């Protein structure tokens, strides 16, 4: 991967030139690539996923991409849904998440391939959007329960352990951010505000957060499901 920056007026883009080449696109990226109009005019929108904001699935040359704008949640969203305080280009959410994802991807961890992030500065604030490669044939852990067998639940734990050994503190580890593909592979998404840390109590806090999220999707004993995940987690 070759991350490069591309400043253009009040927009700043961090992108992987290799990803653009692999997609058969020109390496000259532009802020319009991060907008809905660009893909509507090209007739390249494949679908969308709702959540905090709407993520678009688009056909970009020979690849499928996910375009995700950053949106605030909670009480602060009433003040500004999409603006964040500007403290420097490298400290923006898009640049930090893209660099973290690139590092994990480069080390062989199951995260979506990072494509690009764009930041638009507005004086003391900014807006941002992230592009990653789309994972096809995946379902969230939330949507897969309770059909998963013990081996699959243990595999989730093994995967989480790999991320923790790498030092990833996922601040929003929940059943929607863990994806399972057709071959039984486990993927981790949404690394916004996540960071790399030394081993500590945060690792157990991650698992507790996942357990709390499972209560929304598991009809029977959540602790039983979580124990199987933890068995895999502690097996390596």
pLDDT in tens, 13-32: 999 988 888 888 765 789 99
> Active-site residue among 18, 22, 172, 181?
172
In this predicted model, which residue has the larger pLDDT, 28 or 74?
Answer: 28
**What average pLDDT does this structure show over 212-216?**
94
Q: pLDDT (tens digit, 9 = 90+) per residue, 89-111? A: 999 999 999 999 999 999 999 99
Helix and strand totals (H; E) in the chain: 7, 13
pLDDT tier at 146, thresholds 50, 70, 90: confident
In this predicted model, which residue has the larger pLDDT, 147 or 210?
Answer: 210
pLDDT of residue 73: 67
pLDDT of residue 1: 84
Tokens of 141: 């852990």
pLDDT of residue 27: 59
Lowest average pLDDT, out of 41-55, 149-163, 169-183, goes to: 41-55
pLDDT of residue 79: 64
Least Cα distance to 15 among 131, 148, 96, 152 occurs for 131
Tokens of 51: 């959540």
Q: Which CATH superfamily is domain 139-233 in?
A: Transferase(Phosphotransferase) domain 1 (1.10.510.10)
pLDDT of residue 77: 46
pLDDT of residue 91: 97
Report the alpha-carbon distance of residue 99 to residue 117 in Å, rounded.
Answer: 10
Residue 180 contacts residue 139 (beta carbons within 8 Å): yes
Residue 224: which H helix or E strand, with range?
Answer: helix 222-233
Q: Where are the domains of the chain?
A: 3-133, 139-233
Q: Across the chain, what does the average pLDDT equal? A: 92
Q: pLDDT (tens digit, 9 = 90+) per residue, 217-230? A: 987 789 999 999 99
The percentage of the chain sitting over the pLDDT mark of 90, rounded to a whole number, equals: 79
Domain spanning 3-133: CATH 2.60.40? no
> Does 221 qualify as catalytic in the annotation?
no
Task: List Cβ neighbours of 178 (8 Å cut-off, separation of 6 or more).
Answer: 140, 141, 156, 186, 187, 188, 210
CA-CA distances (angstroms) from residue 106 to 6, 13, 29, 159?
Answer: 21, 20, 22, 16
Least Cα distance to 46 among 59, 33, 34 occurs for 59
pLDDT of residue 161: 98
């Amino acid at each position: 991967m070759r991350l490069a920056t591309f400043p253009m007026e009040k927009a700043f883009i961090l992108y992987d030139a290799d990803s653009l080449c692999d997609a058969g696109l020109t390496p000259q990226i532009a802020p319009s690539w991060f907008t809905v109009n660009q893909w509507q005019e090209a007739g390249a929108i494949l679908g969308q996923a709702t959540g905090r904001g709407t993520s678009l699935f688009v056909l970009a040359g020979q690849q499928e991409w996910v375009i995700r704008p950053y949106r605030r949640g909670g009480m602060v969203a009433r003040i500004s849904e999409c603006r964040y305080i500007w403290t420097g280009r490298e400290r923006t959410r898009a640049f930090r998440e893209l660099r973290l994802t690139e590092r994990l991807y480069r080390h062989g961890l199951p995260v979506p391939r990072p494509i690009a992030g764009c930041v638009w500065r507005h004086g003391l604030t900014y807006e941002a959007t992230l592009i990653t490669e789309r994972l096809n044939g995946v379902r969230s852990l939330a949507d897969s329960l309770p059909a998963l067998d013990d081996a699959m639940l243990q595999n989730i734990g093994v995967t989480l352990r790999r991320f923790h050994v790498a030092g990833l503190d996922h601040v929003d580890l929940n059943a929607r951010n863990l994806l399972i593909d057709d071959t039984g592979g486990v993927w981790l998404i949404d690394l916004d505000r996540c960071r790399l840390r030394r081993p500590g109590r945060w690792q157990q806090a991650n698992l507790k957060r996942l357990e709390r999220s499972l209560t929304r999707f598991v009809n029977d004993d959540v602790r039983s499901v979580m124990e199987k995940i933890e068995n895999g987690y502690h097996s390596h």
